[in-house]
């Protein structure tokens, strides 16, 4: 049985005092429960502080990106060694905003996925189609390719540990959620693609999240689907109250 994974991606929001207060509140109120994992994906400057605030609680701290190299002349970048050293446990890779504005490619996502596993970080690999691709019936092909390329060269054990986040780009921050059936159809396809490149047993273990205008009003319906195991949430993760409602919905 796969656990539910609720991850809040703050993107480029909050100042340190707000970040600390949020994690303190969620750490105190989110009940420790084996059926749900609670992750906060925060900007780099807050990670060290948030890891401390989250200690002993249900909350895990994730970065929103990283470089694939361990160190070197890459001004402005942050390495997997640094994240792991801070006690960060997860890292978001290949978010559509990184792909669109920062030239992230399937190749760099794959390098980063390997780097994450080399440094005990769990990758949350984002995939998803544009509106044009959806209207041209290219969703399955495009998303399947993104998944295949991101996971290339990983062992079956590593694939089983990877979190895949399916985020249709047209649903991000727009208030338009994919219907739970449509979202589930793509998530099932992702699981089938993973079956083809690994094994049935491996694919059954992979946590697949949906992301795109998830909020307390639609989370239950999404989580009731056969292949949706959690959510990667932007806007509705910015307030502790609404994030806690999402975590609660994932708790059995
Ligand atoms: O990483 C999160 C997603 O981009 C979804 O953002 P949203 O919940 O604001 O639509």
Name the packing angle between helices 106-118 and 139-151 (round to 10°).
Answer: 40
Active site amino acids = 95, 167
pLDDT per position as a tens digit, 92-133? 999 999 999 999 999 999 999 999 999 999 999 999 999 999
* Res. 76: pLDDT tops 90: yes
| Predicted pLDDT of residue 136 | 96
252: pLDDT strictly greater than 80: no
The two beta strands, 59-63 and 36-41, are parallel
Ligand 1 contact, 212 CB (< 6 A): yes
Distances (CA, A) of 1 to 35, 64, 219, 226, 237: 9, 27, 19, 11, 26
pLDDT at 246: 97
CA of 209 to the centre of ligand 1 (A): 12
169 Cα–ligand 1 center, Å: 9
Residues 25-60 as b or e (16 or more Cβ within 10 Å = b): bbbeebeebeebbbbbbbbeebbebbbebbeebbbb
How many Cα atoms within 13 Å fall on the side-chain side of residue 29?
15
Q: Is the CB of 211 under 6 A from ligand 1?
A: yes
Of the chain, the end-to-end C-alpha distance in Å amounts to 12
Domains of the chain, with CATH numbers? 4-251 (3.20.20.70)
The protein residue whose alpha carbon is closest to atom 7 in ligand 1 is 234
pLDDT over 90 (residue 175): no
| Spatial CA neighbour of 238 closest among 4, 16, 19 | 19
Cβ 92 under 6 angstroms from ligand 1: no
Which residue CA neighbors atom 3 of ligand 1 most closely? Answer: 234
pLDDT above 70 as % of the chain:
100
pLDDT at 12: 98
Torsion of CA 220, 224, 230, 236, to 10 degrees: -20
User: What is the per-residue pLDDT across 23-73, written as a single tens digit (0 to 9) for each?
Assistant: 999 999 998 788 999 999 999 999 999 999 999 999 999 999 999 999 999
pLDDT at 170 > cutoff 80: yes
């Amino acid at each position: 049985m796969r656990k539910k994974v609720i991850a809040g991606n703050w993107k480029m929001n909050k100042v340190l005092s707000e970040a600390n207060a949020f994690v303190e509140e969620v750490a105190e109120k989110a009940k420790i429960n084996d059926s749900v994992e609670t992750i906060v994906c925060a900007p780099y400057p807050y990670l060290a502080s948030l890891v401390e605030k989250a200690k002993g609680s249900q909350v895990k701290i994730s970065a929103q990106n990283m470089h694939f190299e361990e160190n070197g002349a890459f001004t402005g970048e942050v390495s997997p060694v640094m994240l792991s050293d801070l006690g960060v446990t997860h890292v978001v890779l290949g978010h559509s905003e990184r792909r669109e504005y920062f030239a992230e490619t399937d190749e760099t996502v794959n390098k980063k996925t390997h780097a994450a596993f080399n440094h005990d970080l769990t990758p949350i690999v984002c995939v998803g189609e544009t509106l044009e691709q959806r209207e041209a019936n290219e969703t399955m092909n495009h998303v399947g390719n993104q998944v295949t390329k991101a996971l290339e060269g990983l062992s079956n054990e590593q694939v089983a540990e990877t979190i895949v986040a399916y985020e249709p780009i047209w649903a991000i921050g727009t208030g338009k959620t994919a219907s739970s059936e449509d979202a589930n159809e793509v998530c099932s396809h992702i699981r089938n693609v993973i079956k083809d490149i690994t094994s049935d047993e491996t694919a059954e273990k992979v946590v697949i999240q949906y992301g795109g205008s998830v909020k307390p009003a639609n989370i239950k319906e999404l989580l009731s689907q056969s292949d949706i195991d959690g959510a990667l949430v932007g806007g509705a993760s910015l307030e502790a109250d609404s994030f806690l409602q999402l975590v609660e919905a994932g708790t059995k």
